[in-house]
Structure 1
Amino acid sequence: MARILALDFGTKRTGVAVTDTLQIIASGLTTVNTKELLTFLKDYTQKEEVELFLVGEPKQMDNTASESEAYIIPFLSKLEKAFPKIPIKRVDERFTSKMAFQTMIDSGLSKKQRQNKALIDEISATIILQDYLHSK
């Protein structure tokens, strides 16, 4: 089986999470500068087989698209062109950043460590991926 890669897309940086090859466990992989994201994904997919990209879909409480969706749409177009054989699925990402922050608190991370926005993005991508695996 191939891996599933989840992205918590942001204008500055993007959190990346990945499954094991059996698609049972979601793990945080890294946080990448968004400008370098496609290059990172190309390098990663040359080393590992990826069967699906999960991309967080930010929504408002009333289920309408978030303002950041305007930045995600052009990225999705580039992602599709760069990886025409790998499907892209959108997943509701509401509350993942808050859940990631709470996870950091529950893990006993210090206040200084919890200010690491890159870690929050990576944990958010992991939560997106884990939720997807649970729903499958």
Structure 2
Amino acid sequence: METILGFDFGIKRIGVAMGNTLIRQAAPLAVISAQANDVRFAEIAALIEKWGPVRFVVGLPSHPDGTPHDMTARCRKFANQLHGRFNLPVELVDERYSSAVIQAKRGEIIDDKAAAIILQQYFETL
């Protein structure tokens, strides 16, 4: 059994989910709201210490036709930073339609739920 952390990267917030390869079920875990990279990565480091993941999954956004946009590059950079800082493998998962699955109430923070959908999509490919 391996624990995996999933991420929905955003400029304002990062949603985090966790799951394992035994039951292959993702669950929302946290929302990181810090703006400074050092604080963001310190919060991620604390989650890594607590849960002991063996890999990360990061949602990769793109236009509906699959072409990249500004956030595509930012998410790739975030994935590279995760790998560089924590020396764990990172898988990128197409997140084009994950937002459509979540129907949020006004003002509700859904980033951790989006991360769970991204991680669940990864589990479904195993």
TM-score where L is the length of structure 1: 0.80
Aligned partners of 2:20 and 2:73: how far apart in 1? 31
**What 5-or-longer segments of structure 2 have no aligned partner?**
none
Q: Give aligned pairs, total.
A: 123
1:76 and 2:79 are equivalent in the alignment:
yes
What RMSD over aligned residues (CA atoms) do the two structures have, in Å?
1.8
**Residue in structure 2 matched with residue 58 of structure 1 by the alignment:** 61
1:71 Cα deviation from its structure 2 partner: 2.2
Structure 2 vs 1, CA of residues 34 and 21 (structure 1 numbering), >3 Å: closer, same or farther? farther
Superposed CA offset, 1:49-76 (max 9, x none) = 1011000000112211122123223323
The answer to which of 8-17 and 41-50 deviates more is 41-50
What SS does structure 2 have at the residue aligned with 1:127?
helix
Percent identity between the aligned chains? 33
Please identify, of 71-80 and 48-57, the stretch whose mean Cα deviation from structure 2 is larger: 71-80
* Bigger share in helix: 1
* 2:21–2:123 contact (8 Å) kept in structure 1: no
Give the Cα–Cα distance (whole angstroms) in 2 for the partners of residues 97 and 11 of structure 1: 16
Contact kept? 2:2, 2:22, Cα under 8 Å: yes
Aligned to 1:90: 92
Moved beyond 6 Å, runs of 4+: none
Equivalent-residue separation in structure 1 for 2:47 and 2:14 (angstroms)? 15
Residue 75 of structure 1 aligns with an amino acid whose one-letter code is F
- The 5-angstrom pairing of residues 1-136 of structure 1 reads 1-20=1-20, 22-35=22-35, 36-84=39-87, 86-101=88-103, 104=104, 114-118=105-109, 120-136=110-126
Contact 2:8 2:112 in 1 (8 A): yes
Structure 2 Cα separation of the partners of residues 13 and 78 of structure 1 = 16
Larger radius of gyration: 1
